[in-house]
Amino acid sequence: MTNNNVIEQEEALLLRRKLDLLLRTGKLLVESAADTNRIVRNMKRVAAYLGLPEDKLHIDVSYTMLVVNVSDEAHSFSKFQKCEKHGINMTAISEVSKLSWRAIEHDYSLDQYEEELEKICSRPRNYIPYLVAIGAGFACGGFCKLFGCDWMAFLLASVCAFVGFRVRARCMEFGINVYMSIAIAAFVSTCLAYASSFSGLSSTPYHPLLACALFIVPGVPLINFVDDMIDNYLLVGITRAANTAMMVGAMAFGIVLAIRLCVMEDVSIDKKFSELSMIPHDPYYVYAIAAAIAAMGFSMIFNIQRRLLWVVAIGGIIAVCTRNFVNFELGFGPVIGSFMGSFVVSLIAVKAVHWFHVPNHVLTIPSVIPMIPGVLMYRSLLGLIGMHGVVGEVTVAFYNGINSALIILCIALGVAVPNIFARRYIAKDRQKFLEEELAKRKARGKFIEW
């Protein structure tokens, strides 16, 4: 074997290692529920650290597969990476972003980068499972309070959601399909909430039925779907939308089954739900407390850093109070109110990300989740499954369903639009800073060449 062949083999092995590190970075982002633009942006930054020229680098992202190709006039190297264990881990997304910059600024070797990446992958979550379940329970209790319940119903909804969350976790541990796990959890939560309505402890006994399964609401996939579609990552966006629809469908199936078995015998339940008021009757500070509790609960589900819980709580307060003010005080309705609530939070987060050094979605998504229109969703669902042939039933059911869909879409748009425009506005500055850091690294003789 000639020296040239030995050198070519060593270069090929080095390139494969670089591509492997690049793909492992992308896989961590995909499986942590980062939006596609962030995945591509971070992978390109890591590729710059690895010395892979951007004009010769090709990255393709899908929901279950990553493909990276490096090619020039004479060679072409491709590598694939399967992405299977999807979840939500905001801390991992933040840490990968910081690592990509740190590797450039501190001249990390490949071994150092791999070691730091492995630490992020193997790092335990910020909250133990039962603490996350408690957070999820109180998040749903916060939802219930936002729907107008009393504090006893808040506690009942929290307990039902806690049990449902743990049921879903156990189902996942047993290897049950993710969508079936969601359906089972929704069924258990709804049955418990209905049983609690007979306790006589609350003056609003039916409100927990509206909130007990809302820990399942796929807020992150939904907002990522809107982001991806606006950023022209259509295939990934459509896949995220389909996954969101499957999760909502599984939740609806579990709720419908519970209603069929438990609730439909109570002929007054439809009237009770139709009479639930959508107009706030508590002081603003009560809704602020409920919004903060719900936002912090979802932050724990999303594995956000503990130091940011109070920040997200303030974001939830701003979102809900803005929504209520625009909706009821100004009279623009829930659709525009929800859009403005999420828009204001996202606009503030554009600046706040520089204060707390985290990605935009880490602050915005948990903050806007408390605005999910649970009452309208349940009215639509119950209207469809409880039809008796009365004129106008279909119209009312679809009216509530369309309204809830529009509100959810506007929440996602309100989060996405300021972030996208801000990202494009500061992209040139980031690119300039990256080029300056790479130039400094070359001057230090530490640049890793392809």
* 123 phi and psi angles, rounded to 5 deg: -65, 130
299-350, pLDDT tens digit by residue? 999 999 999 999 999 999 999 999 999 988 888 988 999 999 999 999 999 8
pLDDT surpasses 90 at 85: no
Residue 50 gets which letter from DSSP? T
Q: What is the pLDDT of residues 353-378, one digit of tens each?
A: 889 988 888 899 999 988 888 667 76
Q: Look at residues 23, 48, 47, 38 and name the one whose alpha carbon lies nearest to residue 94.
A: 38
How far, CA to CA in Å, does 37 sit from each of 42, 192, 427? 9, 41, 12
Q: Are 24 and 50 in contact (CB under 8 A)?
A: no
Question: pTM (2 decimals)?
Answer: 0.87
Q: What mean pLDDT, rounded, does the chain reach?
A: 85
- 19 backbone dihedrals φ, ψ, rounded to 5°: -65, -35
Using H for helix, E for strand and C for coil, what is the string for 280-334? CCCCHHHHHHHHHHHHHHHHHHCCCCHHHHHHHHHHHHHHHHHHHHHHHHCCCHH
- For 130-143, write each residue's pLDDT tens digit: 999 999 999 999 98
Q: What are the sequence ranges of the domains in the chain?
A: 1-123, 127-424
Q: Which amino acid is at 327?
A: N
